[in-house]
A and B are shown apart, each in its own frame.
Chain A
Amino acid sequence: DAKTTQPNSMESNEEEPVHLPCNHSTISGTDYIHWYRQLPSQGPEYVIHGLTSNVNNRMASLAIAEDRKSSTLILHRATLRDAAVYYCILRPMIYNQGGKLIFGQGTELSVKP
């Protein structure tokens, strides 16, 4: 399984944009890039995913490097509720493994008022 590398922690100020990086230099051409986040004392929740092109949804944007060896999750205006651990996860095009998610350590984002 391809590995991802994320900073252990990041800080942001409320209402400012946040760029959470993820390196995945061993990504294969068919691996999807997923982001999940885990708020304190809750289960993880889906944020966004992409394959090659940049993606936007109501929660965030995902910017994928042209060579796909890195990606960045962008929160356009951080709020206190965005304080969470953010996980960058690669999902391969292998259907016989049950679609499991392989979680790394993630990035703990703290948001200051």
Chain B
Amino acid sequence: NAGVTQTPKFRVLKTGQSMTLLCAQDMNHEYMYWYRQDPGMGLRLIHYSVGEGTTAKGEVPDGYNVSRLKKQNFLLGLESAAPSQTSVYFCATAIGGAPADTQYFGPGTRLTVL
């Protein structure tokens, strides 16, 4: 089992370009999350999904859009990249949203916006 995979691993964009980050999971989990991590800081939640076809905003959603058309995939889009979006992006999944449920994280995508 691959668990949680993220594509691509690295990307450099110019300001104003767009891109989509893909998160894929083979654990049949309902919940999926996108976090970002800036240098020296903890992770912050961007958007999340509690099931196929649903999405919700997290702590820092501005400048991002998401889609969950299939249960196993969660896409994070940047329509017009800005230098402030330079960060490492982590996807996570969970079987549910209960307080005792564990989140499983992908290896991350390192994005630089010039």
Binding site for B on A (CB under 8 A): 30-32, 36, 41-46, 49, 51, 87, 91-93, 95, 97-106
Contacts and interface: CB of A to CB of B under 8 A. Distances in A.
Contacts of A92: 99
Given A98-B50, A99-B94, A104-B42, A93 B99 contact: yes
Nearest to A97: B97
A95 B97 contact: yes
20 contacts: A31-B99, A32-B99, A41-B108, A43-B106, A45-B105, A46-B104, A49-B100, A87-B42, A91-B99, A91-B100, A92-B99, A98-B50, A98-B56, A99-B97, A100-B33, A100-B59, A101-B33, A103-B42, A103-B44, A105-B42
Contacts of B92: 43-44, 101
A98 B105 contact: no
A55 to B, nearest CB: 11
Contacts of A93: 99
B43 interface: yes
Q: Please give me the 6 A-B residue pairs with the lowest Cβ-Cβ distance, nearest first.
A: A99-B97, A103-B42, A43-B105, A32-B99, A91-B99, A103-B43
Contact of B102 (A42, A49, A87, A104): A49
Contacts of B103: 36, 44, 46, 99, 101
B90 interface: yes
Nearest to B102: A46
B85 to A, nearest CB: 18
B96 interface: yes
B97 A44 contact: no
A78 B2 CA distance: 28
A57 to B, nearest CB: 11
Contacts of A36: 103
